[in-house]
Amino acid sequence: MMLAGLLGALLAATPPAADAPPTPGAEGEPVRVERRLLLKEGHAFVTGGLGYLARGDYYSNPGLFASGSWYPVEEGGLEVKLALFLSSLSPAGVEVFERTGLVPDAHRPVALLAVGGRYSVGYGKVLVDPSASKVWHFDVQAAGHLGLTFTDRGVSPSLLLGPGLLMRLSPRLHAQLDVPLVLAIEQRSRSSLSLGVQPTLTFGVVL
């Protein structure tokens, strides 16, 4: 009896647990869901911007990039890429040339033309301005292209593979970030394959 009385006193002295916050929509209250706004099917995306081809040789390869994409379906589209490289010897390459009079056996990139496709692997949204409820919608993509790299010594068949991000900035404007690996076939003294990475950031309009 004494034990039962002590338990009763403890239970009576324990304050009631705070009510859990209500789950949105659980009591019939409307919940605002941001609808999908980055729609690609039947649209063309035209972009232009800057990029850099890093290959670990003796050249610095910044470039001007442009692309045109058309999406027959929401899940993927076809694309054409163009690039004009403003290549020059890197500081290490200049030092080697000044000391020995030799230039790298790597080819100096001049331009790129490639065609391929893009496939959407995921869709997301990010809140960039809580005060204005501004949300940017983005598409995570995988891209692959086959093309030709024009160099100071000829033409090199090239393969581009890598991830991409398509982001809606406004109803008509968008940004596109790509980071593909670039594999090119070049006739060098030690190897015929050139491997690099080519990050690009472009902005454009939806047609």
Contact 152, 107 (CB under 8 A): yes
Half-sphere exposure of residue 44, counting CA atoms within 13 Å on the CB side? 5
Non-local (6+) Cβ contacts of 36 within 8 A are 123, 137
Q: One digit per residue, pLDDT tens: the chain, 207 residues?
A: 554 554 455 555 555 555 555 555 555 555 455 678 889 999 999 999 999 999 988 889 999 999 999 999 999 999 999 999 999 887 766 666 557 766 677 889 999 999 999 999 999 988 877 776 678 899 999 999 999 999 998 899 999 999 999 999 988 999 999 999 999 998 877 768 889 999 999 999 999
pLDDT digits (tens, 9 = 90+) for 4-61: 554 455 555 555 555 555 555 555 555 455 678 889 999 999 999 999 999 988 889 9
pLDDT at 7: 47
Could you tell me if 57 and 74 are in contact, meaning their C-beta atoms sit under 8 angstroms apart? no
State the pTM of this model. Answer: 0.78
Structure tokens at 156: 């090199």
CA 90 to CA 116: how far, in whole Å? 31
Strand, coil or helix: 35: coil
Question: Are 204 and 169 contacting, i.e. CB atoms less than 8 angstroms apart?
Answer: no
> With contact defined as beta carbons under 8 Å apart, do 71 and 39 qualify?
no
Give the whole-angstrom CA distance, residue 196 versus residue 173.
30
pLDDT at 30: 56
Instruction: Report the alpha-carbon distance of residue 200 to residue 93 in Å, rounded.
Output: 24
Scanning the structure block, which residue is given the tokens 């040339």?
Answer: 97
Cβ contact 188:106 at 8 Å: yes
Who's near 34: CB < 8 A, 6+ residues apart? Answer: 125, 135
Closest among 44, 127, 113 to 85, alpha carbons compared:
113
Answer yes or no: CATH 2.40.160.20 is held by domain 40-206.
Answer: yes
Other CB atoms within a 10 A radius of the CB of residue 145 amount to: 23
